[in-house]
Amino acid sequence: MEKPNAFLQLLGLARRARQLETGEDFVLKAIRNNSIQLVIIASDTGQTSAKKLRDKASYYHIPLIDRYTKSDLSQATGMSRTAYGVKDPGFARKLSTLVNE
């Protein structure tokens, strides 16, 4: 049996705490409003969507994580989305450290 991934578990917790923006359009809007601290996109997101999100996050200096597939992210959050934005700075900081371990 596979060991549970701490990053995905914390992402699910952030969703239950209502600290996530989900969906490409909502994440782009939140980036423009500076209301999110971290952008997470699925590694298998379409090229156009991924470029749009990467460019916007880069322009507004928001860190981006693209290590997990849509299936992994969907299973962790219970939502079938390719883009997530983390609102809470504490969740964003911890998720960033977990992805680099």
Number of domains in the chain: 1
pLDDT tens string 49-82: 999 999 999 999 999 999 999 999 999 999 999 9
Please report which residue ranges of 1-59 form alpha helices under DSSP H.
6-16, 24-32, 47-59
pLDDT grade for 22, boundaries at 50, 70 and 90 = very high
Expressed as residue numbers, the domain containing 24 is 20-100
- Can you give the CATH number for the domain in which 56 is found? 3.30.1330.30
In a domain, 31, yes or no: yes
In a domain, 2, yes or no: no
In a domain, 51, yes or no: yes
Say if residue 10's pLDDT is above 80: yes
In a domain, 3, yes or no: no
Q: What gap in Å lies between CA 65 and CA 100, rounded to an integer?
A: 10
In a domain, 15, yes or no: no
